[in-house]
Amino acid sequence: MADDENLFAYAGKILRVNLTSGEISTDPTLKYAKEWLGASGMAIKILYDELRSWVTPYEPANKLIFGAGALVGTTAPGACKSNMTTLGPVTGGWASSCSDSYAGGQLKYAGYDSIVIEGKAHTPVYLWVHDESVEIRDASHLWGKTTWETLDMIRGELGGADLHAVSIGPAGENLVRGACITQDTGRAFGRCGTGAVMGSKNLKGIVAKGSGAVRVAEPELFMETVSKTREMFKRSRTLEGMRKYGTLGGLAKKQKICGISYKNFQECVLPDDMVQAIDPRKTIDTYEVARQSFPGCAFGCGRHVHITEGPYAGLKTEAPQMETMGTLQGRLAIHEPTFMFKAHAYCNQMGLDVDAAGGPIGWAMECYQRGIIDERDTDGLKLNWGDADVVLELMRKISYREGFGNILAEGSARAAEIIGRGSEYYALHIKGQDLYEPCRGALAWCLGTTTSTRGGGHTTGAVADANPDHDVEKGRLIFGVDNPYNPLEYEGRAKMVTYMETVHRVNNCLGICHMNTIHWDLEHLDLPHLAELYSAATGWETSVEDLNRMAMRQLNLEKAFNLRHTDFDRKDDLPTPRDLSEPIPTGGLAGWKMDEEQYNRMLDEYYDLHGWDRETSFPTRKTLVDLGLEYVADDLEKLGKLGSG
């Protein structure tokens, strides 16, 4: 039961586990929830307040926070996301990842909203949370196992085929910087290297099982609001496509808008013959054996396949989403249509983020193409575009930090620093985080990606302004700009990104999948709907303005956290040199080139909207004080990183 009988939606307790001492304790969720909204909001508050500036990602003093969204465990549309937050090894700053998760709901049913993990176990362990019982159990027999093997062994050990785990594979154990944490067998807490932090703590996995329930403050109003919002999805033009193929159904659209990487972003469209060969809809139609949805999702984009022919015959796996197709299949120019399914399964087993594989491998292949590296660097491997066997071997080498894989395991930014020889230009990253996102030709997408506080990524502010299917008039009403869906328009992009930064943070805090919101389709949930759901669930009257204030407070604390732990400033909010200097070579936008001067004016507008210093990107004292963060302003002033104005 909750510590406070009047607390609703939240489970009521934050579990704290020190792996060094074995100490287990709890804090009341109410200590944070009124001002910090939910999972990722409470997490950045805890990290900022409790980590000193000298802490580095792999030290025992670092903390890894697993949290379930505030609406997870309710029937709110899309309430299926959990969050991992830490000081991350990829950027050296704020690291936050979300995943569809059964384990998050079970954590709340057990009575906890989050787990704050610190210290380092002397030997491998996993955490077993079962209602009031919290055990740190030996995992020596699980160390070295894949995440798939780990799940099977834990279920056998604890006697529950219905148990769900989040775990790391060999990549996390070997501190691969881009290691992820896998939910069961098919969904990942990707980007940022949260799996490597988990590995540094000798923590193999977390298993939760609860027999409680999540209460809402106003059940009738809440269910009315749920029914009303679910009716909205009947107007969605994307619903059936998502149900059938997930985001993989968007390949043709990506081609049309120059939105997919080919040969490490040398081009932004795939060759026509490759598109025909790899169309994932054909593979799903041929090999699908089951579909999957997570609790609360309005449509369910998961599907499972059994590949019965070709080089990967016998493979049984959940189908990937667009990211795997873009960052591994397209980027590496692989024509075998089932490769994306094999690569996705392998990354999930190893606990290796797909971008942390595709990014450095794409960099290496282009360096090989241009004669910067050769077989003397690559353990004798010929890194030719389209060679699926070589790519899988490199993924294995990365996961075990073997040979050339030990360099690639650092990510393309650090790998380029190690190799040198002019290879830095071909490392496509923002703040050290390997890019999946093609930034040329979609300026609101690009701006949201480059300014992201967790490093390159489209899920903390980017707007899909190149989407030709969006209702322009509705977009004008939502974003308050005249021309929201001209992706080559600089005007108004900063305003759009600022709005979406709030949407994304509210989603992540509440545990709402972005695809159930206007991130994906303007007919889906927007801030007014999220405010209604949260108000009815918690009994705390919460307006859109309240959500925006909490999201901006969170964003500024993320920014301050980065300023404490990194040297990020304005230069780190710019696109890659390739994006700024090369025109799009082929496709519908052939010849278009980003204007660096106009981009910088757009960035000025973005800083102005946030109350940040144009020259440095640093928050000003006024901005922080207005958000109730005066103590943060004092901290930044001592560091010499407080913006003027």
Confidence check: pLDDT of 1 > 50: no
**Residue of 533, 78, 152 lying closest to 301 (CA atoms):** 78
Q: Which of 8-17, 242-251, 465-474, 505-514 has the lowest mean pLDDT?
A: 465-474
The residue behind tokens 């704020």 is: 94
Confidence at 519, pLDDT banded by 50, 70, 90: very high
Q: What is the pLDDT of residues 520-547, one digit of tens each?
A: 999 999 999 999 999 999 999 999 999 9
Does 461 have pLDDT greater than 90?
yes
Residue 295 binned pLDDT confidence (cut-offs 50, 70, 90):
confident
Crossing angle (nearest 10°) for helices 596-610 and 493-510: 50
- One-character DSSP codes across 389-422: HHHHHHHHHHHHT-THHHHHTT-HHHHHHHH-TT
| Residue range 10-60, pLDDT digits in tens | 999 999 999 999 999 999 999 999 999 999 999 999 999 999 999 999 999
Q: What is the pLDDT of residue 464?
A: 94
Structure confidence at residue 257 (pLDDT) = 95
In our burial notation (b when 16+ CB lie closer than 10 A, e otherwise), range 97-114 reads bbbbbbbbbbbbbbbbbb
Cα–Cα distance list, 553 to 338, 445, 550 (Å): 44, 22, 5
Ramachandran bin of 252, using left for φ above 0, alpha for ψ from -120 to 50, beta for the remaining angles: alpha
pLDDT-derived band at 298 (thresholds 50, 70, 90) equals confident
pLDDT category at 188 given cuts 50, 70, 90 is very high
- pLDDT of residue 4 exceeding 80: no
Average pLDDT over residues 474-496: 96
74: phi then psi, degrees, rounded to nearest 5: -105, 180
Token pair belonging to 140: 């020596």
Residue 470 pLDDT level (bands cut at 50, 70, 90)? confident
pLDDT(638) > 60 = yes
Q: Per the confidence metrics, is the pTM higher than 0.75? A: yes
The model's pLDDT over 365-405, given as tens digits with 9 standing for 90+, comes to 999 999 999 999 999 999 999 999 999 999 999 999 999 99
Q: Please give the C-alpha separations between residue 157 and each of 137, 351, 411, 586, in angstroms, as whole numbers.
A: 11, 21, 36, 55
Q: Taking Cα atoms as reference points, which of 512, 517, 480, 513 lies closest to residue 499?
A: 480
Q: Indicate the pLDDT class of residue 5, thresholds 50, 70 and 90.
A: low
Digit-coded pLDDT (tens) for 442-458: 999 999 999 999 999 99
Average pLDDT over residues 175-201: 97
Apex CA 586: angle with CA 584 and CA 591, to 5°? 45
Residue 262: CB partners within 8 Å, gap ≥ 6? 268, 269, 270, 271, 274, 330, 331, 333
Give me 37's structure tokens: 């909204």
pLDDT value of position 178: 97
Residue 468 has pLDDT above 90, yes or no: no
Q: What is the pLDDT of residues 54-80, one digit of tens each?
A: 999 999 999 999 999 999 999 999 999
Domains located in the chain, CATH noted: 13-209 (3.60.9.10), 240-434 (1.10.569.10), 443-639 (1.10.599.10)
